[in-house]
Amino acid sequence: MATDPGILPGAVRDMEQEDLEAVLAIEKATQLTPWSSPHFRDCLGNANYLCQVVTENDEPVAFLILSRILDETHVLNIAVSPARQRRGIARALLQQAIRDARADAMSVIYLEVRESNLPAQSLYRSLGFEVCGLRKNYYRLGDGHENAVLMQCLLTSGHK
């Protein structure tokens, strides 16, 4: 079986303004209600946010945006270019985020995910996230809405 390339060493770095075009292309290709450019610019300008890209030939193929407030980390956005999905990139990014949060003595990581997004929920569960709530009609979906599932990863519970 071919070796899964995953994230190559040195391929994760902080997101820069120059990455925004490629990041927006990934966002539009993967999200039902994509963030716009100002969303990403606000994140880049906020000292409490961590914005990372995974690159191939210095071109972003995935990104992760976290906010870190007191002892809580929030996963705000994560996406992998369709052509690079299912290679372990999102898993590796989140595993590193969990290790970093632990190292900084944080107690919990929160995220929200569309109720219909079963692939992402499966990924989060495999990393130790569990459902902790539901926001009714939180996301737009066509002419209607869909619920957000709230998930948490308790960093004191011995996961990963």
Q: Contact positions toward ligand COA, by CB under 6 A?
A: 30-31, 78-80, 85-91, 113, 117, 119-120, 122-123, 126
Q: How far is CA 16 from CA 19, 25, 27, 43, in A?
A: 5, 15, 16, 11
Catalytic residue IDs = 112, 124
Shortest reach from residue 86's CB to ligand COA, in Å = 5
List the structure tokens of 135.
């926001």
With beta carbons less than 8 A apart as the criterion, state whether 92 and 126 touch: no
Q: Which is nearer to ligand COA, 21 or 105 (CB)?
A: 21
Query: In terms of CB distance, is 96 or 117 closer to ligand COA?
Result: 117
Considering the complex, state which of residue 23 and residue 47 has its C-beta at the smaller distance from ligand COA.
Answer: 23
Could you tell me the two tokens for 21?
């075009």
